[in-house]
């Protein structure tokens, strides 16, 4: 016999050990363990000795086919009833039909409470208004509330409501389909928006009339101060006597007048150097 056949036969003998142990009498712990395994309906056979502690360890318990995995907890028998037993002392239906038990408020051995509202009212009538004076008044005077009787617990009768009264929120009236097809709601919304725009424009026009007078070019030139003359740029001595290559003015006097006019109008023009368009449209 080869080594493979010996190993297979050895495993087969070990796999059959639990079956042989159930046939012969054994200890109670082993019997309980095998009985628990049968209850779990484990289809895969176990190799080796099955102990009772295996039924209490979730990692060693194999799941049964078609059932949830057991957690190894012990549960009472099938005749056990969970919950708390209620003892009925009201006599059942016959007792409820024949008589009606009512609860009465016991006033024995019950000290009446102090009526602070009455104390404060009497203190104000006496001319005491500060917290210190009212505290001293409550310390020297004592007014108790009347004990409640059965009549004190009675509730006022509810107001009579007409029989044809409907409770709840009324439904929104149905929207006519003809107005939807004619875009009446869109036209109504446009008319409302146009009316709002007209009111806003009239308000802006009125506000512009009541505001300050808009500055003109002349007023801006009057308010502006003449800018200081910037120093001439540095030039090398060899280029100081060299004239410009292009001169568009007829004479130096015309150039001087044009530059002075441009300098005076720089306050009303856009740009850092005052050479842009006019700010007053």
Over the stretch 172-217, which tens digit does the pLDDT of each residue have? Answer: 888 889 888 888 999 999 999 999 999 999 888 887 766 667 778 8
pLDDT at 4: 43
Report d(CA 122, CA 117) in Å as an integer: 9
Torsion of Cα atoms, 267 then 272 then 274 then 280, to 10°? -60
pLDDT at 2: 41
- What parts of the chain have a pLDDT lower than 50? 1-30, 33, 40-43
pTM (global) more than 0.95: no
Beta-carbon contacts of residue 279 (< 8 Å; ≥ 6 apart): 220, 268, 269, 270
pLDDT at 194: 94
């Amino acid at each position: 016999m080869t080594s493979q056949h010996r190993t297979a036969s050895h495993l087969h003998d070990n796999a059959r050990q639990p079956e042989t142990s159930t046939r012969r009498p054994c200890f109670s712990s082993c019997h309980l363990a095998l009985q628990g395994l049968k209850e779990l309906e484990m289809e895969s056979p176990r190799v080796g000795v099955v102990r009772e502690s295996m039924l209490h360890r979730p990692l060693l318990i194999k799941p049964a086919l078609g059932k949830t995995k057991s957690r190894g907890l012990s549960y009472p028998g099938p005749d056990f009833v969970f919950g708390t037993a209620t003892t009925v002392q009201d006599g059942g239906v016959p007792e409820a039909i024949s008589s009606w038990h009512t609860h009465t408020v016991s006033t024995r051995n019950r000290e009446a409470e102090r009526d602070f509202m009455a104390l404060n009212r009497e203190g104000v009538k006496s001319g005491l208004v500060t917290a210190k004076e009212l505290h001293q008044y409550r310390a020297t005077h004592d007014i108790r509330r009347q004990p409640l009787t059965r009549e004190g617990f009675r509730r006022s009768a509810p107001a009579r409501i007409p029989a044809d009264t409907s409770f709840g929120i009324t439904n929104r009236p149905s929207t006519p389909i003809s107005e939807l097809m004619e875009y009446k709601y869109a036209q109504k919304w446009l008319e409302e928006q146009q009316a709002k725009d007209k009111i806003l424009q009239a308000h802006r026009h009125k506000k512009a009339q009541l505001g300050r007078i808009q500055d003109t070019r002349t007023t801006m030139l009057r308010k502006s101060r003449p800018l200081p003359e910037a120093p001439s740029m540095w030039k090398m001595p060899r280029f100081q006597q060299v004239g410009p290559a292009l001169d568009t003015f007829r004479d130096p006097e015309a150039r001087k007048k044009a530059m002075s006019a441009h300098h005076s109008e720089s306050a009303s023009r856009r740009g850092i150097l005052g050479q842009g368009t006019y700010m007053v449209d």
